[in-house]
Amino acid sequence: MNEYIIPVIAAVVALIIGFVIAKIMAKNSASGTVAAAKNEAASIVKEATSQGETLKKDKMLQAKERFLELKSEHEKVILSRDKKMNDAEKRIRDKESQISSEIAKNKKLNSEIENKAKNYDERLSVLDKKTSEVEKAHRNQIQQLEVISSLSAEEAKEQLMHSLKDEAKTQAMAFVQTSVEEAKMTAQQEAKKIIINTIQRIGTEEAVENCVSVFNLENDDVKGRIIGREGRNIRAIEAATGVEIIVDDTPEAIILSCFDSVRREVARLSLHKLVTDGRIHPARIEEVVKKTSRQIEEEIIDVGKRTVIDLGIHGLHPELIKAVGRMKYRSSYGQNLLQHSREVSKLCGVMASELGLNPKLAKRAGLLHDIGKVPESETELPHAILGMQWAEKYGEKAEVCNAIGAHHDEIEMTSLLSPIVQVCDAISGARPGARRQVLDSYIQRLKDLEEVAFGFNGVNKAYAIQAGRELRVMVESEKVSDEKAAQLSFEISQKIQTDMTYPGQVKVTVIRETRAVNIAR
């Protein structure tokens, strides 16, 4: 036990001695570090003081230099202001001297003017005296002349005026008579010359509208497919289009007969699509006819646009363009209405140029003069008045509207375009082969025949076929029963018999069809 205590005590004593020695050494080291830091701080302070003095001296030098610069600039500004003030004083002195010299001149001029005014007054007094003397002498002369001629001055003046008036009237009448005679001699020749030149510059074909169209086939086997089983296909086509289809022995052709060229065109295009497609049955026929009717409406607009572009007419209202396109499928006394209007437009342009008028406005009036012949619904107004109302409605100029309304003398002509349009319309319609009046009356009779059927309730469609010898009437099955259909046929035939004049007899066929349609969803 004692053996272990002694070494432990020795070790503790050694540790204490080492700790004391370490503390003494650390204290000595810290005092040395503090002394070094103090020395370094003193040197830094000394160096900062010296740098501050140097910086202070530099700033003072810069401030002095800036002061000198500002002083010199201020002196320059003061010198420039002094110079400007001196210049201004000099200009003022010059002005004063100039004004004083002008005042002196004005005084001199005033004195001269006063002298001239005095001389002028003296001359005026002398002139007044001489004028009074001349007037007195003139009155004396007039009195002497009145005594000699035994007439007063007023009476002599009136006699002279009467003689001059009579002489002037005689000369004016002679001049007017000569001018009128010359105009009568040359006006007719000039008018004929202008018309002949206009006709010679317009070359058109003799085209007459017919009431039939020929539809060519690849072979005669197609005829059987068009007729269908028990004729159901051909009946469906006739019912949908209102066109009579004539299938005869003519090889590779069938005939489409209808007075309405729009219906004929719809039927022709529909047949072309059906034959090309190969599917020909009643449901397909109705579908194709509806699509073709819409296609014809679009084609009417395209025809109108192409026509106005070809004639160089701009700014036409879309409804008027549509009316121009409908002219393609209308005829006037057998003459195609669009071709007639184009011809009249060109004639008007040429004639207006010859007379020194506006050719574009004349062509516009010529193209639109017959738009009243293509109404979408029947009206009692004359076509010229109806066309004028349309033109006014769609913003055409007053000259164009008057030319449209006056080309058949329904209204008074108020512009030079009106007689030009009237003359050109007569030229286009009067040339040989252009028109056939019998055809126009025939077409009007067929239209009246269809209108009779539309006057009854429940009628959906009505078509005059067989050159007016048959009237086919399609009725709505919901409004017309089978018994009523027979009665309707009798009533229509009686109305035709009492209201219309026609050759031969007219067969009235009323067709009533019942359909039941349901949709599986």
What does the pLDDT look like over 44-82, one tens digit per residue? 878 878 887 888 888 888 888 888 888 888 888 888 888
Q: How confident is the model at residue 242 (pLDDT cuts 50, 70, 90)?
A: confident
pLDDT of residue 206: 46
pLDDT of residue 189: 66
Q: How confident is the model at residue 208 (pLDDT cuts 50, 70, 90)?
A: very low
**What distances in angstroms separate CA 138 from CA 135, 248, 326, one per listed residue?**
5, 114, 87
Q: Is 252 or 4 the better-scoring residue by pLDDT? A: 252
Instruction: Find the mean pLDDT for residues 506-516.
Output: 82
The rounded percent of the chain whose pLDDT value lies above 70 is: 86
pLDDT of residue 441: 66
- Structure letter (DSSP) for residue 432: T
pLDDT of residue 297: 85
Instruction: Find the mean pLDDT for residues 266-292.
Output: 86
In degrees, rounded to 5, the angle at the alpha carbon of residue 452 between the alpha carbons of residues 447 and 457 is 130
Query: Mean pLDDT lowest for which of 84-98, 376-390, 431-445, 471-485?
Result: 431-445
Q: Is 204 or 402 the better-scoring residue by pLDDT? A: 402
- pLDDT at residue 348 above 80? yes
- pLDDT at residue 1 above 60? no
- pLDDT at residue 95 above 80? yes
The rounded percent of the chain whose pLDDT value lies above 90 is: 2
Q: How confident is the model at residue 402 (pLDDT cuts 50, 70, 90)?
A: very high
- pLDDT at residue 290 above 60? yes
pLDDT in tens, 153-173: 677 677 778 777 777 777 777
How much is the mean pLDDT over the chain? 80
Q: How confident is the model at residue 255 (pLDDT cuts 50, 70, 90)?
A: confident
- pLDDT at residue 143 above 60? yes
Q: How confident is the model at residue 175 (pLDDT cuts 50, 70, 90)?
A: confident
- pLDDT at residue 485 above 80? yes
- HSE toward the beta carbon, residue 65, CA cutoff 13 A: 6
Instruction: Find the mean pLDDT for residues 311-322.
Output: 88
Is the CA virtual torsion 284, 286, 287, 291 positive or negative? positive
Instruction: Find the mean pLDDT for residues 344-364.
Output: 88
Q: How confident is the model at residue 401 (pLDDT cuts 50, 70, 90)?
A: very high
pLDDT of residue 65: 85
pTM of the model: 0.48
What is the torsion angle, in degrees rounded to the nearest 10, for the CA atoms of residue 133, residue 137, residue 138 and residue 144?
Answer: 160
DSSP assignment string, 303-322: HHHHHHHHTT--S--HHHHH
Sheet holding 212-216, edge to edge: 212-216, 253-257, 244-246
**Where do we find the tokens 């579908």?**
287
Q: Is 318 or 137 the better-scoring residue by pLDDT? A: 318
pLDDT of residue 236: 85
User: In the structure encoding, which two tokens stand for residue 100, read together?
Assistant: 């004083």
Among 310, 266, 315, residue whose Cα is nearest residue 286:
266
